[in-house]
Chain A
């Protein structure tokens, strides 16, 4: 074995083909998918949804530079998104007013302004925050977020008070012949920056600093004894994460043409945590998945049910407890099972599992929907498929308890047989 393994660095590195398949191909696929969307001539609603998804992809990826790759739990990442967005917003107004050099700056390039502002904010705020990791870092990030959000509401001349700052993106020189007026053109702008942001954040993970960031996450003590200062590594990663959050803020500024102090607050900071975590922080693709799923949930589910935040909470808790690898982890697990057991056996066990989880979900949905109507007190009744599920009816509680118990039993059964078979 050792004889055949030549001590050649080339045999250690992945082959050209592997590199291409694992690193370049997914990015090309992303770009292709995004480029093909207009061919389906989507509606305005779909376009706006896709734009929100693109912004959140870059935002969630930037957050994962801290959490997943750096081991730094931040409760205030929206600060950099917001400050980047505000900087872009003010630049947009300067373009409109034709102030000096700004008159020649294309709106298409505003994410660059957001990037710079996010990096600057990261450099200033990161200086004191990155001395410590762990709980201290998390607490400081929370404090800073509160502070900046409060400042956002106080300094009206910069942040525009409650109404925020608005602008008009259809000014200045046009790039690539895009006026950025119709939402379909804004989509192209968002798609461009989503691909650029994703590619750059991915490239970052491949640099020496990116690798050192992972090393510092795993073991900051040891990093000192291979010649690096963990504080400095954290600080540089923090600046980079702030910069990309700012980039996504710049994308949002152009897309929405408004920024309010709300965008700096704990609420979006929590949401980006959820996107990254639910998607899976151990995988590069995790935050992308999380951003897609949560953004779509946010916009679709909130039309169907007022309890959508409850569902989000349930999803988050379920992921933490049962699938710490997130959605990406689930996908990898499924792919692994299929490869190991063959499609036939895997389909049986996965199918049963999926059935169990679906049953659980049915019971849970009935429970939540019935309870929320009862709590509203308008006497409204949950009527799925023509069934009248009143609070007092036996059928309601059978439909709650039955699927939950059945689903739980099924999931347990599958887990047991999987163990037995392994």
Chain B
């Protein structure tokens, strides 16, 4: 077996007395599309924060492509090819859509902190930016300030900035939250297109999206993974039904997606 894209072992996170992540082990193969589901407050976003280097784990380790990444600063983890989006849009509000994506592209194109080049003359950066804007269908809004975008477009830009650097491990935190049906469909198509051939880890509440995109599902409840497996297995798992899907609305959601 080849080295997994991500290997999470014995991960714990405590905020003072609050023990939020309580021993998570997870292995994600290269090219896998892995969904994490779980009730509100289960620790899904916290898990993303631990993997992406935003928080330091209290215990345990994260390994990417065979190299340990826990303890590294977030920007270093990003440079090694892991990129994440945020549950709440987290973009550069006063810059235009194009400038947002361009910032996301910069590092991967080898233009670190350079202050001796005119950004407008960096042909490869401009081309890559245009390519990504086209991919996410924001080309016609390229010159709109990000803060003025409609909500769904802000979510799309969030994804665009996340994939701009060409990372091969992508973490998306509830990318379709708050979107209408048609917007969700568009977003799913976009995610599929944008993460082709990459490893995808996605947190999502919308079961339709989960069953649509994921080939593996893990269920996180109170900081522990209580089940992990193929979508069919998860749907039939009694433990999952009891702990998480006991909620009637969710049962319907799962039934509806089936």
Contacts and interface: CB of A to CB of B under 8 A. Distances in A.
Contacts of A224: 53-54, 73-75, 78
Contacts of B114: 207-209
A222 interface: yes
Nearest to A11: B130
B99 interface: yes
A229 B134 CA distance: 28
B128 to A, nearest CB: 8
B205 interface: no
A211 B95 CA distance: 9
A7 B139 CA distance: 7
Interface stretch (A137-145, A182-190, A213-221, A347-355): A213-221
Contacts of A206: 118-120
B130 A218 contact: no
A206 B102 CA distance: 12
A206 B119 CA distance: 6
Contacts of A219: 90-93
Contacts of A240: 115
A226 B161 contact: yes
B92 A214 contact: yes
A5 interface: yes
A9 interface: yes
Given A2-B139, A12-B133, A210 B104 contact: no
B118 A203 contact: yes
Contacts of A419: none
B98 interface: yes
B95 A226 contact: no
Interface in B126-184: 126-127, 129-131, 133-134, 137, 139-140, 142, 161-162, 164-165
A303 interface: no
A204 B108 CA distance: 21
A236 B114 CA distance: 10
A207 B117 CA distance: 5
> Could you say which of B83, B99, B107, B113 has the most chain A C-beta atoms within 10 Å of its C-beta?
B113
Contacts of B126: 9-10, 12-13
Interface string A241-278: 00000000000000000000000000000000000000
B188 interface: no
Contacts of B165: 226-227
A222 B90 contact: yes
A399 B213 CA distance: 74
Interface in A1-57: 1-2, 5, 7-10, 12-13, 19
B15 interface: no
Contacts of B139: 2, 5, 7, 12
A228 B113 contact: yes
Contacts of A207: 114-119
A385 interface: no
Contacts of B161: 222, 226
B117 A226 contact: no
Interface string B73-93: 111001100011010001111
A177 to B, nearest CB: 32
A225 interface: yes
B103 interface: yes
B126 to A, nearest CB: 4
A214 B139 CA distance: 22
B118 A225 contact: no
Contacts of A222: 86, 90-92, 161
A212 interface: yes
Contacts of A217: 94
Contact of A225 (B83, B94, B102): B83
A7 B118 contact: no
Contacts of A221: 54, 90
B52 interface: yes
A232 B133 CA distance: 28
A233 interface: yes
A215 B164 CA distance: 15
> Could you say which of A221, A226, A233 has the most chain B C-beta atoms within 10 Å of its C-beta?
A226
A17 B120 CA distance: 14
Contacts of A226: 78, 83, 103-104, 106-107, 161, 164-165
Contact of A208 (B78, B119, B131): B119
Contacts of A210: 115, 119
Contact of B115 (A214, A225, A236): A236
Contact of A233 (B93, B113, B164): B113
A228 B94 CA distance: 18
23 contacts: A2-B140, A12-B130, A12-B133, A12-B142, A203-B118, A206-B120, A207-B116, A209-B114, A211-B102, A214-B92, A215-B92, A218-B92, A218-B93, A219-B90, A219-B92, A224-B53, A225-B74, A225-B162, A226-B78, A226-B106, A226-B161, A227-B165, A228-B106
Given A212-B103, A221-B54, 15 more contacts: A7-B131, A9-B130, A12-B126, A12-B129, A12-B130, A12-B133, A203-B118, A211-B95, A211-B99, A218-B94, A223-B103, A225-B83, A228-B75, A228-B107, A233-B113
CB-CB nearest 4 A-B residue pairs: A227-B107, A7-B134, A9-B126, A224-B74
